[in-house]
Structures are given as C-alpha cells and as structure tokens.
Amino acid sequence: MNLDFWPKNPKANLVVSLSNLLVPLFALVLLILFNISCSKRPADSTSGANEKAESNQQASDPNNKKPPRPEHKHPAFTERVEERARFVAIQIRARNVNDPDVLKAMRTVPRHSFVQHPNKNVFNSNLMRAYADHPLPIGFDQTISQPYIVAFMTEALKLKPDYKVLEIGTGSGYQAAVCAEIAQEVYTIEIVEPLAKRAEKLLKELGYKNVFVKAGDGYFGWPEKAPFDAIIGTAATGRIPDPLIEQLKPGGRMIIPYENSLGFQYLVLITKDDKGNLHKKNVMPVRFVPMTGEVQKKQK
C-alpha cells in the first residue's frame, strides 16, 4: 500500500487520522437525525387519498352514467361452485369454447338460481339438473337454453368490457347475466310480462345492476338505447327484424336463431361493417322456441 501521501510529522498524522474518523461519523449522525425527522412526519397517503377521492368522485359525479359492475355478494355465487367448474370444463371448454371471459362468466353465474321455482319451498327437479347440458322448462311454454349454446352464442358476439348489448327474449335472465359479466350494459326485452317481472326481480337480487329488463315485443328492439355493439336473440324467427338491423352499430355483431320455410333452425351470425353492409353466416343447427308478436304478422 502506498503511504507517501501521509505527513511525516507524527502530530499531523494524528490530526489527519482523527479528521478521517470524524467526517464519516458526522455524516452518519446527520443521516440518523434526518431519518428520525422523517419518521415523525405523517405518512404520505397521497396515493391512497387520490384513489379514494377518485372513487368518491365517480360515485357522486352526475356525468358518470356507467352502471356498476355485477356484484357477487348473493349466497348463490358460493353454492355449487365445483359443479359449475366441472360442467364448464366438460361441456363447454372441451367443445371448443375458448374465450376466457366467457368461460369465467359461465363458471360465475349460478344457473341453479335461474331454474329454481319462484316458491323455493316447492320441490323442483330442475334444480338437480341445473348443470346438465340441456334446456329446461321455466314456465309459460318457455325454456332456459342449453349451457353450451349460451356459451357458444356469447363467444360469437366477441364482447368487450365497454360493450352495450341488446337481448331479445329474456326468459329466465340467465343469458343476460352471462353477458353482463363481460359487457358494460345489457338491455333485455321479454314479451311474456310475468317472465320479464320474474327475471328482473331475480337479476336485482343477484346484484346485476348493469342489466335492464323491459316487458315488450323484441321485434322493435330498444331504440331509446340504440345503437348496440352486440345483439343476441333467444327465440327463432323466420325473418330478421329490420329494427334490430338498424339498431346494430357499424362494426357490431348479432346472433339469432333463424327458421327457414322448411322448419329447420340454425344460428345465423350477422356482422355489420363500417359502411353498414351486412354479412351473414349460418353457424350451427339449433332448436329454439319461436319468436312471437309482430314478427309473426310480418311472416304471414
């Protein structure tokens, strides 16, 4: 080690050594005092405060018209969870429905709630079959669709979190709930008024605040809320209603059961390009209850 820079006077050496020790010691004392001073200050909660303020602002902002996301506080969401996971894996994912949002929605929505008898004390065999892959009766000559068909049709719409969806044929409300797990808003119309009221009540109980139910003829759509990013029909028609075509947003997608003159039904996927041109594709043979109301008059 080269020591040529040290002074040759012993006293000077001592002074230099002490100074070399005191300088870092003094710096250490200053650092400790600084840390103590900082620790006595109030914790910096700017980030948390900003998040809370932003949340409060969104809740109280009259211009913020986005409906809240679905809540999952109802006990039904914690019931038969393993059953739902199993039926999604075996009946849906294994049959090439791969959209992760759709699979998650199907695992989340408690289908057994939608097949339960309004009087919960009445024995209902549908409860035992809630997660079997076939349609079930819900009264008024209507059915809740087969789970695989629900998943297939939902995936075909390619829903996004900011989408507004129109459903024709609320039925039990199950399809609307599945769409509401993904999309921002779901507007659903049911021509059988008792079914509409029952579905609306159930959806509210389950926490689907972003689903809006109306009793009426789905042929006319919901013009006050148009245009829609996606439209889904759950009843078969021999003619695609013109109002639904008009209410579909350019770039939007519609899937609806279509029945030809021979009585064969199949799902038809309709896309509207940015210029308003329609493109139709038959995607799957199906069997749905018929659409009633104005569409029947038009068909005749």
Which residues are known catalytic residues?
145
Could you write out the three-class secondary structure of 43-103? CCCHHHHHHHHHHHHHHHCCCCCCCCCCCCCCHHHHCCHHHHHHHHHHHHHHHCCCCHHHH
Q: Which residue has the tokens 């999952």?
A: 72
Residue 260 CA to residue 168 CA, distance in Å, equals: 19
Q: Which residue, 100, 256, 103, is CA-closest to 165?
A: 256
Reported as half-sphere exposure (CB side, CA atoms, 13 A), residue 93 has a value of: 16
Q: Which residue, 125, 149, 142, is CA-closest to 191?
A: 142
Q: Which residue, 198, 231, 86, 88, is CA-closest to 147?
A: 88
Could you write out the three-class secondary structure of 148-208? HHHHHHHHHHCCCCCCEEEEECCCCCHHHHHHHCCCCEEEEEECCHHHHHHHHHHHHHHCC
Q: Which residue has the tokens 């199950």?
A: 174
Q: How far is CA 272 from the centre of its chain?
A: 23
User: 20 in helix, strand or coil?
Assistant: helix
